[in-house]
Structures are given as structure tokens and as C-alpha cells.
Structure 1
């Protein structure tokens, strides 16, 4: 495997690991680990923020994460000349 291919896959894996870290923080961190401190914050008519993250906020975060991943992968593909036309 040449150096460009190794650099591409290294950047690709780094992006995937970063997305997994954000996913873990949003789903497990905000929905479970930090739920009690977040519940002291009320939003949208009095709902606790920890509950909101566990029920709906994580879904919004995941959808945003999908778009960010696709955008960053397109940038990465263009940088290494492997983009789809």
C-alpha cells in the first residue's frame, strides 16, 4: 500500500473514531452518565434536559453527526483524489 493510501485510511479511521466518540458522549454521556446534573436544567416547557437527551436529543445529535460525517468524508475524498463524480 502506498503512502497516499495509508494516509487516506489513517484520516478515515481518525474521522470514524471521532464520530464514535461524539456518538458515545451524546448517547451514553448525556443520556445516562450526566443525566442527573442535566436534569437540573429545564427546557421546552419544563422538561429536564437529561430526559430530553435520552429521548429526543440524541436522535437529533445522531442525524447531525451523519451529515457532518458525509461532509467530512467528501472533503477527505477530494483531498486524496478519490471522490465520486
Structure 2
């Protein structure tokens, strides 16, 4: 792999990580702490939505982000020809 291609791969990897970490931060800190009161106006399964995000929603999103990261990295590996054989 050329140094330019390696740098592009690393940049794409960092961009993906930043996007996923921002989503995780918004869901866990934003929805679970900062926006709890406005979200509590809505209910999910009988519980206020802000409470649900603080207790369970952020965990579900985190697990989903793990699978999204794995799928996106597989595509990135194939794109830059560094995939597993």
C-alpha cells in the first residue's frame, strides 16, 4: 500500500470514528441528560422518552453503532484493498 493510499485509508477511518462518536455522544449525553425534560413529554413503552434514553436507549444505540462500525470498516477495507481474505 502506498503512503498516500494509507493516509487516505486512515483519514476515512478517523472520519467514520468521529461520526459514530458524535452520534454516541448526542444520544447518551444529549438525549439522556441535556434534553431529558423536553423528551419526557413523549412516552415509549409507558416510560418517559428521556428516561428511556438515559436507561436503555443509549445502550441500544451503542450496540447498533458497533455493528455499523464493523460493516462500514469492512466496506472501507474492501475499498482500499486491505480486506481479510
Q: Same fold (TM over 0.5)?
A: yes
The answer to whether the aligner puts 1:76 opposite 2:76 as a matched pair is: yes
List alignment gaps of at least 5 residues for structure 1.
none
Distance 1:16 1:26 in 2: 15
Q: Which residue of 2 aligns with 1:16?
A: 17
Alpha-carbon distance between aligned partners in 1 of 2:58 and 2:40, rounded to the nearest angstrom? 15
**CA root-mean-square deviation:** 0.9
* Unaligned residue ranges in structure 2 (runs of 5+): none
The list of structure 1 runs, each at least 4 consecutive aligned residues, that deviate by more than 3 angstroms after superposition, is none
1:1-85 alignment, distance < 5 Å: 2-45=3-46, 47-85=47-85
TM-score by length of 1: 0.95
Q: CA deviation at 1:57?
A: 0.6
| d(CA) in 2 for partners of 1:43, 1:79 | 40
C-alpha distance in 2, partners of 1:42/1:15?
Answer: 32
Aligned residue pair count: 84
Which deviations, in whole Å up to 9, do the C-alpha atoms of 1:28-76 show, x marking residues without a partner?
Answer: 011001110000101212x100000000011100010000000000000
3-state DSSP of counterpart to 2:15: helix
The structural deviation recorded for 1:84 is 1.0
